[in-house]
Amino acid sequence: MQTIGVLGAGAWGTALAATATKAGRDVRVWALEAEVAEALSAGKGNPVFLPDIELPKMQASSDMSILADCEAILSVVPAQHARACFNQLNQYLTPGVPVLLCSKGIEKNTLSLMTDVVHETMPKATPAVLSGPSFAADVARGLPTAVTLACADEKLGQTLMKAIGRSAFRPYWSNDLIGAEIGGAVKNVLAIACGIVEGLELGKSAHAALISRGFAEMTRLAVAMGAQQQTLAGLCGLGDLVLTCSSPQSRNMSFGMALGQGRSAQDILAERNSVTEGVATAPALTELAAREGVAMPICQAVHEILAGQKNVDEAMTALLNRPFKHEGF
Ligand SMILES: NC(=O)c1ccc[n+]([C@@H]2O[C@H](COP(=O)([O-])OP(=O)(O)OC[C@H]3O[C@@H](n4cnc5c(N)ncnc54)[C@H](O)[C@@H]3O)[C@@H](O)[C@H]2O)c1
Ligand SMILES: O=P(O)(O)OC[C@H](O)CO
């Protein structure tokens, strides 16, 4: 597998394109913004979404036909834009081509996971999922991490791992696509909650308790949707949850911190050109949890705050006054 297409040149698409280039692949990048495509093609990095990081030169275009006939596609557009992009991408795919889903979110209103969106828009494609603890800036700088690469077919999974893996970017194979998707989507909402706890200065004990109970929520939903429990204990679940809930380098966590400090969601988002996936995923997750009959009180509290149904203090008081119960998933 030599020719790799990358759909989306935000911070993560750019970092993955750089990784695959360093791994020796022939990489082609589709960027929505012409200025990003021009800068990447000229070897000037990505001044919009990954400024001040030196990157290898790569072929890029804002014309999606650049992805025609690639042997694999990495999809790295924000979850709420995936469907529109896939509708356009479909015409350029060869039958059976793997589409490795690297974004972390659930589609609003339809409650579709990204694999569902692939099935509905690109029936020729074979979906796979890449998820795990990985800040784009770290990966683009060549700092080491490990991620889950979930693919139903182990042989195809191995081929994809060899195509994009390097010593500093270590994929581990799993056959559990649903587990990998749910882990990545839910951790973003939980990171907003952790940020709120941090912004309210509730202390590190509260922070750790929230991560642990959040992990129980994530696992409950994933298992109810057919995932394997052990997947959530891996890189795409606990691994990414710990990373995203631990550092203001996370957009979701820093968004939550600002909310906890009393700022409005609208004001915080207006200052950003980057995506904060947990914001759109929170309402979708609340609906999905209700549909599956799964209790997700922390994620629901985030949704209630974002929907203006409760302020942060009211949401926190409600969480702390839930009935005592048996621990566990
Ligand atoms: N940045 C990270 O560290 C990181 C790591 C792992 C996963 N992810 C996931 O990758 C996905 C992309 O995030 P990112 O950080 O690369 O993005 P980003 O915040 O750096 O950039 C925003 C992206 O959204 C794109 N965009 C905006 N409007 C669009 C539209 N109408 N159609 C298509 N694309 C549009 C922009 O072109 C750009 O690529 C998200 O799901 C995120 O959760 C990000
Ligand atoms: O900056 P965030 O919160 O979107 O998190 C980035 C990655 O998903 C961390 O693995």
**Does residue 122 register a pLDDT over 90?**
yes
**Does residue 250 register a pLDDT over 90?**
yes
145-150, strands of its sheet edge to edge: 59-61, 26-30, 3-7, 72-75, 98-101, 126-131, 145-150, 169-174
Q: Residues 213, 189, 177, 143: what is their CA dihedral angle, to the nearest 10 degrees?
A: -100
Split at pLDDT 50, 70, 90, the class of 186 is very high
Q: Which of 57, 187, 310, 325 is catalytic?
A: 187
Contact indicator for 170, 260 with CB cutoff of 8 Å: no
For strands 3-7 and 72-75, give the pairing: parallel
Q: Per-residue pLDDT tens for 206-241?
A: 999 999 999 999 999 999 999 999 999 999 999 999
**Does residue 95 register a pLDDT over 90?**
yes
Q: How far is the CA of 231 from the centre of ligand 1 (A)?
A: 24
Taking the domains of the chain in order of start, what are their residue ranges?
3-175, 178-320
Q: Which amino acid is at 17?
A: A
Q: Reduced to 3 states, what is the DSSP secondary structure of residue 66? A: helix
CA distances from 312 to 63, 244, 253, 259 (A): 43, 20, 15, 8
Provide the pLDDT for residue 163: 98
Cα 106 to chain centroid distance, Å, stands at 10
Q: How far is the CA of 80 from the centre of ligand 1 (A)?
A: 10
- pTM confidence score: 0.98
Q: How far is the CA of 134 from the centre of ligand 2 (A)?
A: 7
Interface confidence, given as ipTM, is 0.99
Split at pLDDT 50, 70, 90, the class of 329 is confident
**Does residue 151 register a pLDDT over 90?**
yes
**Does residue 328 register a pLDDT over 90?**
no
Contact indicator for 142, 104 with CB cutoff of 8 Å: no
Provide the pLDDT for residue 289: 98
Cα 208 to Cα 193: distance, rounded to the nearest angstrom: 12
Surface-to-core class of residue 96, CB atoms within 10 Å of its CB (0-12 exposed, 13-18 middle, 19+ buried): exposed
Place of tokens 């356009």: 88
For strands 126-131 and 145-150, give the pairing: antiparallel
Strand partners, 127: 99
Record the tokens describing residue 314, joined without a space: 């009211």
Average the pLDDT over 126-132 and give the result.
98
Instruction: Respond yes or no: is residue 124 known to be catalytic.
Output: no
Which CATH architecture best describes the domain 178-320?
Orthogonal Bundle (1.10)
Find out whether 99 is annotated in a ligand binding site. no
Provide the pLDDT for residue 319: 97
Element (DSSP H or E) covering residue 27: strand 26-30
Provide the pLDDT for residue 274: 97
Q: Ligand 2: which of 192, 240, 272, 279 to mutate, judged by most atoms within 8 Å of the beta carbon?
A: 240
Q: Ligand 1: which of 76, 275, 279 to mutate, judged by most atoms within 8 Å of the beta carbon?
A: 275
The CA-based angle 148-152-156, given to 5 degrees, is 80
**Residues at CB less than 6 angstroms from ligand 1:** 8-13, 32-33, 49, 76-79, 81, 85, 102-105, 134-136, 274-275, 277
Cα 117 to Cα 281: distance, rounded to the nearest angstrom: 15
Find out whether 252 is annotated in a ligand binding site. yes
Q: How far is the CA of 94 from the centre of ligand 2 (A)?
A: 31
Which CATH architecture best describes the domain 3-175?
3-Layer(aba) Sandwich (3.40)
Strand partners, 72: 4
Strand partners, 27: 4
